[in-house]
Structure 1
Amino acid sequence: MSEFGTQQPDGSGRPTGSERLSEPLSEPKVIEHLKACQQLAVERGRELFRLYLSKLDQRLCEFGEQAKNDGERLRFHDTRTQFQQHTDELERYFCGYLGEGFIKFKRQELDTHTGEEKFQGDMLSLVENEDLEETIAISSITHRAEAYYAEPLWALNQRFSVLNMGQKVNERGNPAGPIQFCESLRKALLLVSVDTKAKIIAYKTFDKEFVAYIGEVLDATNMYLSSEGILPNLRYNPGTAQPATPSAVTQVGPGSAQDGDQSLQFETPPPGLVPAPDPNQPSEQYQGNLVDAIRLLQNHVTQYGAPVSGSPQGVPVVAPAGAGTGGQPVAVYSNSQLVGALQNLQTQALAVTQDLRGDGDALQPLQPQNVAALSQQLSTQLQQASDDEAAVDRSDMHTIDLVGMLFEYMLSDDNLPDSVKALLSYLHTPFLKIAFIDTGFFEQTEHPARLLLNNLAEAGVKWVGNDGTSQYDIYTKIKAIVSRVLEEFKNDVRLFAELLLEFSSYTKKISRRQELMERRAMEKVQGEEKLREVKIRVNDEVRSRTDQRELPSAVLLLLLQPWSDYLAFILLRYGEQSDSWLRALQAVDDILWSLQPKESDADKVRQKAMQEELQDILETGFETIGYDQAKGKKLLEALTSLQKLALQSKRAQPAPAPMRDKLETMAAEKAGQTAPAEDRPSAEEEKMVENLKMIEFGTWFEFQGGKRLKVAWYNSKTLHYMLVDQMGKKVAMKSGLELAREMLAGQAKVIAGSTKPFFERALENIFHSLNARAESMQPAEAGPQGGAE
């Protein structure tokens, strides 16, 4: 067995729990306890692993006998052979990895995950199906085991916190937790070359024949540490468990609990605001801190006598210790009673929403579930199911309250179309069941149910409109998912992992199609906008040279039409740094100079010398753009006549004002610069246009009637916005002024988008709502600050 390191204590460690040690544990003592715990876990793990391999061999034999063909039968035979040949190595590696977890724990490096984080966002596209199936199997086993062994696991977390210098230990960092056994098996299975189906059989057998007995390891480890004086009087209290920090633990004096027993107690926050967690932290850490802060605020609000939002009316709520008025014990509804009552409510919801299973194209109007009314229905179910009067534990009530706030936020989220809100609101009861079955649900950012809800909400925003439209049949797909949850979910959270895999695969294909369509539309529009930019640039260049001059109609026509087209062609093909562009612009200057009356002989000589070259340049330009030869010839002849007048020191007749205005307006419209005087934006419109310059690609607009369009791209130079529908198809190109006017008229609004997943947004909203509530209570409850030092 590997030896533990000799990391020196930092002197900040404190025991966690109801009873303080007389002094912090010394380094040798910590190592002694960890070695003893390691030995307990490894020795019992070795015994169970041998039995497990024996059962797995029997299971594979059975599958081989039931095989449908010789090929399948041969594969199972080969798999059995692989396991039989590597029995000793598998056992050695499994126990070695398990023991190594204690060494990592001592180094404060243990943080084992099931791999579910790969389900999130774009990472899913990088996960192979085999890896995904294996991850789902492991995560399901782990979550179920952690829920089943919640009490001994919680106690062991607290005791290991003492060995961890007072730093909080959770399930991922507990060296004897279920996830460590699962991860040790995953690593050990790398020794054998078997297919995914065989691995799934191995994991299912492990769940039945091994994990079902690890409670013995947890109990034995708890018993050893308790006998060594580490939190010997610890009582199960998951609702208020907090990190084992010196400031959180308070001393409970003798006689403060019945029979001298002591329980974990923690300081409640003073009235007022709880600091918001830092959003710049990694998402998992940030959301975990949000949940911790929410729990703290819930305790604070209820401690100061405020009713719990959504509490079942008619059912008392008691503190976790179960003491009622006057300190008399009160019967508390058990976890199984709560789950049973919720199952009845779930069945009722399914009966109400039978039409959800329909496959019709038309969206059936569906009223959202009344979240507040569900608490009263839960109260009724609990009272009907119990012969005796009982109360809801405060920690359970906080869970009910938190799930209720989650779904209340959903119903108020502007991102979600109303039809999707109504549909997803029926997941309230199943999610409340999950929170009771899997007590760490809110702390697990990678929980399959949580990721599924994120994906359903995101799909609703992307492909369902408030006008009743639905792209890619996504509404029907969401209906099917909700229906399956209501009908099939009893107490096995693996259903959510299966639905997550199915729905993610479906939406991933849709996203690829949508992205491809958007990209093609965007490339086309970008080409059009590039041409528009060039035309605007050309028109500005020509107008900057002609605006202050009185010019004949023929010259204005030549410069604003065919020669502007030629300039645009040159600028697009060769760029503004090219000689071709500079020569084409010089031709404009030469034309304008050639029309000025010539007084000196030098100017006359110069004009005669350049006239033939200028005519060649113009003819070449006309041919390049395919300009009508007859029209081109007339323009060149008119220019020659005007140049002769200039040589005679005469000025040509300028174009009449209406004619000039017409030619200039036509050129501006051709360049996309339409802004008549009567159509100038107001100050309010200009301000809105400036605000629109700040929006990001991907911003959704909802237009009159509920139609949703997304800004897939916009041109910062021309301020033209490309709007696509929920399939990624280009619907319109709108100018910033058009959008601004529609918004000011109430015909369009920006849907406040966010790149954060739904669950994270909900936790932020719940935190700020509870914090505001706590702050509003402060003046009446806090009183003057101060007191003895």
Structure 2
Amino acid sequence: MNNVNERSNLSNIVDLAERSGSIASDPRNERVGELLASVRGIGTRRLMSLMGGMFDNVDDALFDLAEKAENNAVQTQYFDGMRDVRKKRPLIERSFIDMITGAFSRLAGGHRQEHGDSQNEHRGFGGAPELSLVDESDLEESLAVTSMTSKAEGRLSHSLFAVNQRLTVICGGTKVDNADNPIGPALLTRSFGEAMNELKVEVRVKLIVLKLFERYVLNNLEPLYEEINHALIQAGVLPQLRTPGAKRSNTPTRNAAGSADAQQDQEDEQDPSMLRTKLVETLQSLLAERRQSFGYANASMGNSGPSLSPAELLGALSVLQGEVARSTVSMPAQIPADTVLSAEDVRLLKEQLVRQISHLRGEAKSYVSGADEDTIDLVSMLFEYILQDHNLPMEMQVLLARLQIPYLKASILDRRLFAHANHPARRLLDELAEAAKGWSAESDRDQRLLNKVRSVVETLLSDFDDDIEVFSQQLDDFRKFLDNTNRRAQLAEQRAAEATRGREKLQQARRRAAQEILSRIDGRELPALVNGILTRAWANYLVLTLLRHGEESKEFRVGLRFVDDFVWSVGPIHGDAERARLNQLLPLLEKSLRHGLATVAFQDGDVENLMRQLNTLYNGQLNLREEPEPTAAVVEENMPIPESMEAIATPETLSETETAKPATEADSPEVQRVRALKVGTWVEFQADSERPERAKLSWISPISGKYLFVNRRGLKVADKTLEQFAAELASGQTVVLEELPLFDRALDAIVERLRNSQTESDADNAPQPNA
């Protein structure tokens, strides 16, 4: 491209008829050679970069598929494919570029491409002879290639037509069409298919690699065509060319004509990485459509003037990055509300960038390629989403929004950022946002998390130039920070859950003890002394027995038998047999009671006082002494049961704790939504509108069904019943925060936004019926 710019004498190549005659008469014309060499240089440089990106993702894709393989044989095929692709990668890349270079040489010599020569027969790429028998796997590959080529040619028809026309001119009028273009989708796909014959892998692996070639090479050809068209315009080749109206690219839809695509979509849905890639493909298509709707390039970026190289674009961004870095360092520790950025501030970056470029170059306007402008707009929409994301507290929005320029630079340097879920820059932003989701001023009083996020932002603004490794370093450092803080938080969270679990076990034990004692009393009017012992001291003993030994234990059964015997012992005595039974039972009751009272920490003096009162009661029961039974007033006055030992076996105790209720068909939508929530989900309690609190669902009680919430330090914020939590969700007092990573949520939102914008544009441009 530099050769083209340096030769100012090429700018007089304007008239098609004149140029066609001069070049056709001398096919070895020096200018033709230089122009084709320039196009070839641009093509091979960009294609090598795209191929590198594709091969970088082959390992990940095959490894993911191997992990999900239906059996060991298929898994082995994927692993063997990984090894063979890794081993043959240099050979495939060299063979591919050699074939592209050869195609340019044939074009320069005036020879059309031969699509049906013998070397392509029976290979499944480029088509087989019409009457030959085709192997089933070759046919499958051939169909895949045909589909890939047709989709790419349809999507790129606008810019590909311009390249074909300009190549036709510089080749002396020899028509160049889609099939003849050395950098057209057809020849590129055919060349890659032939280079892939070096692989000794199963057809399913070849089809996966072909799919990746489509995603990472064919779907990213538009910047290549734009650069070539602009270089040839600079050289005076058809600068006024009017291309036919570009057809709308086919955004993914479900229709009868797209049954093959629908089948592929179903296959892709089985692999999250493929779904992400498909989303990015849709995004690129929608951005291209939007750009075509508003012209070749957005007016804000300038649609004429000298070409802007990636280095110049990055240089202008670095100047703006320095300004943002200085303003970030000067930000106060407590971020005031008036520092909040708006979506309009984010969108202004494009205008600032244009002004900065013009200033650096000393020119009124500078041309930015459509692909670069799409990247600028995409990053802008990403950070607009961040500023509107309810998942992020305002303070965190302010900090993360300052990363717009570093992420724009990273996106220009490495186009995989939006497509590759494990890209370090993407993972870093996702993890910053995930940590920020649980942040609140109350849970970060020492501002350790806020200051750490600020440190990451400042480091990226000051240190990131053109080395993506900076994001990897910051990601590792931030993960170490989170590991340290999360360990402390997990301990506190565990203690909070254990404390809540302990209280609920105690309440459950109290409830069970109360049920057992009240069912055995069964409404009888017991002496006040006996009733006090059972509902207080002995109820506490049963609670301790349940907690220590469980309800199936021998100790608990013995404790319940004491209740039965104790209640019977103070009932009416009928006849000598019952009197004899009571005489035999009293020593056992005394022994059991002394043991129980000692277990619940009665003092020896209190125990002896209680025994004396019981002795008086039983003497009256056996008619051994003519003394009236102690009245309730006397018993209460002398009862040695500590006042701190509250009555447990009461009807009120039975209603203290509600057990978890099973799901029913009658559950409201809000209750069903609560039941579906998983431990680890973050919510925001908004009852206090000025200081809303963020908390994580830490534990769901199997006893009461209550939901325990803790803050990011692991400290308890609240516990709520199922119904209470559901009512708060329904009223809006509590909001469930999104679980998807920030990048995934943002891309979904951007695609939806672009689709809605496209629909509105189509409606505005639709012909109106006559009045």
Q: TM bucket by the smaller chain? A: 0.5 to 0.7
**Residues in 1 aligned to 2:494 and 2:50: alpha-carbon distance in whole angstroms:** 54
Distance 1:549 1:687 in 2: 46
- 2:128 corresponds in structure 1 to none
Secondary structure of the structure 1 residue equivalent to 2:699:
strand
1:581 maps to amino acid: F
Q: 1:278 to 1:654 in 2, by over 3 A?
A: farther
| Aligned residue in 1 for 2:418 | 442
> TM-score, normalised to structure 2's length?
0.60
Residue 698 of structure 1 corresponds to 680
Residue 712 of structure 2, aligned match among 717, 722, 726: 726
2:266 and 2:330 map into 1 onto residues whose CA distance is 42
Unaligned runs of 5+ in 1: 1-146, 159-168, 176-182, 189-210, 233-241, 318-328, 678-684, 785-789
Deviation of 1:425 (Å) = 0.2
Q: How far apart are 1:419 and its partner, in Å?
A: 0.8
- Encode CA deviations 1:541-562: one digit per residue, 9 max, x unaligned: 3334346443333233212211
In 2 relative to 1, CA 170–302 (structure 1 residues): closer, same or farther, beyond 3 Å? farther
Instruction: Note the aligned Cα RMSD (angstroms).
Output: 5.2
Shift of the 270–654 alpha-carbon distance from structure 1 to 2, 3 Å rule, reads: farther
Q: How far, CA to CA, are the matches of 1:655 and 1:773 in structure 2?
A: 83
How many residue pairs match? The answer is 557
**Other-structure match for 2:458:** 483
Which of 275, 278, 282 matches 1:289? 278
Letter aligned with residue 277 of structure 2? G
Alignment counterpart, residue 736 of structure 1, candidates 721, 727, 748:
721
Distance in 2 between residues matched to 1:783 and 1:284, nearest whole Å? 41
Between the aligned partners of 1:572 and 1:174, the Cα distance in structure 2 is 55
Q: Mapping of 1:647-726 within 5 angstroms?
A: 666-667=647-648, 695-703=677-685, 704=688, 705-726=691-712
Matched to 1:716, the amino acid is: P
Q: Structure 1 595/783 Cα, relative in aligned 2: closer, same or farther at 3 Å?
A: farther
Alignment of 1:584-595 (within 5 A): 584-595=559-570
Alignment of 1:52-71 (within 5 A): none
Give the letter aligned to residue 702 of structure 2: S
Structure 1 position 749 matched with structure 2 position 734: yes
Aligned residue among 47, 62, 66 for 1:152: 47
- For 2:394 and 2:313, the matched residues in 1 are separated by 30
| Residues 312 and 375 in structure 1, CA contact (< 8 A), matched pair in contact too | no
Aligned to 1:401, what secondary structure does the other structure show?
helix
Amino acid at match of 2:679: F
**Paired position in structure 2 for 1:367:** 340
The one-letter code matched in structure 2 to 1:367 is V
Confirm whether residue 269 of structure 1 aligns to residue 255 of structure 2. Answer: no
Cα 1:472–1:229 shift into 2, 3 Å? farther
Q: Does the 8 A contact of 2:541 with 2:599 survive in 1?
A: yes
Residue 710 of structure 1 deviates from its aligned partner by 3.2
SS at match of 2:330: helix
Identity of aligned residues (%): 26
Q: Which has the higher relative contact order, 1 or 2, with Cα contacts under 8 A spaced 6 or more apart? A: 1
Which has the larger Rg?
A: 2
Q: Out of 572, 587, 596, which is 1:612 matched to?
A: 587
1:79 maps to which residue?
none
CA shift for structure 1 position 388: 5.9
* Aligned partner letter, 1:496: F
Which of 251-260 and 578-587 deviates more?
Answer: 251-260
Q: Aligned partners of 1:503, 1:598: CA distance in 2, in Å? A: 78
Given that residues 297 and 770 in structure 1 are in contact (C-alpha distance below 8 angstroms), is that contact kept between their aligned partners in structure 2?
Answer: yes
Q: 2:379·2:404 contact (CA, 8 Å) conserved in 1? A: yes
Asked if the contact 1:271/1:777 (under 8 Å) is kept, the reply is: no
Per mean C-alpha deviation after superposition, the further-off stretch among 743-752 and 508-517 is 743-752
Name the CA shift for 1:654/1:520 in 2 (closer, same or farther; >3 Å): same
SS of the residue corresponding to residue 734 of structure 2 reads strand
Letter aligned with residue 250 of structure 2:
P
Tell me by how many angstroms 1:759 deviates.
Answer: 1.9
Q: Check 1:617–1:247 CA distance in 2 against 1; reply closer, same or farther (3 A cut).
A: farther
2:680 alignment partner AA: G
Q: Which amino acid in structure 1 is aligned with residue 324 of structure 2?
A: A
Q: Give the 5 Å matches for 1:75-90.
A: none
Alignment partner for residue 745 of structure 2, among 761, 774, 785?
A: 761
**Structure 2 portions without partners, runs of 5+:** 1-41, 61-81, 107-112, 118-144, 169-175, 179-183, 186-245, 256-261, 637-642, 659-666
Aligned partner of 2:120 in structure 1 is none
Contact 2:400 2:457 in 1 (8 A): yes
In the aligned structure 1, how far is the partner of 2:603 from the partner of 2:146?
Answer: 83
CA distance in 2, matches of 1:413, 1:172: 30
Cα distance in 2 for partners of 1:611, 1:701 equals 59
Report 1:304-319 matches (<5 A): 305=293, 314-315=300-301
The residue that corresponds to 2:214 in the other structure is none
- What amino acid maps onto 2:273 in structure 1? E
Contact 1:448–1:496 (CA<8 Å) still a contact in 2?
A: yes
SS at match of 2:704: coil
Alpha carbons of structure 1 residues 255 and 394: separation in structure 2 relative to 1, 3 Å: closer
After superposition, what is the alpha-carbon deviation per residue over 1:668-698, rounded to whole angstroms, capped at 9, x for unaligned? 7999877699xxxxxxx99978865654333
Is residue 2:404 matched to residue 1:428? yes
| Alpha-carbon distance in structure 1 between the residues aligned to 2:369 and 2:610 | 93
Q: 1:750 to 1:249 in 2, by over 3 A?
A: closer
Give the 3-state SS of the residue equivalent to 2:696 in structure 1. strand
**What amino acid does structure 1 have at the position aligned with 2:451?**
T
Query: In structure 2, do the counterparts of structure 1 residues 446 and 590 end up closer, same or farther at CA, with 3 Å as the change threshold?
Result: same
Counterpart residue identity of residue 696, structure 1: K
8 A contact 1:341–1:385 mirrored in 2? yes
Contact 1:692 / 1:736 at 8 angstroms: preserved in 2? no
Distance 1:255 1:473, change over 3 A: closer
2:101 paired with 1:223: yes
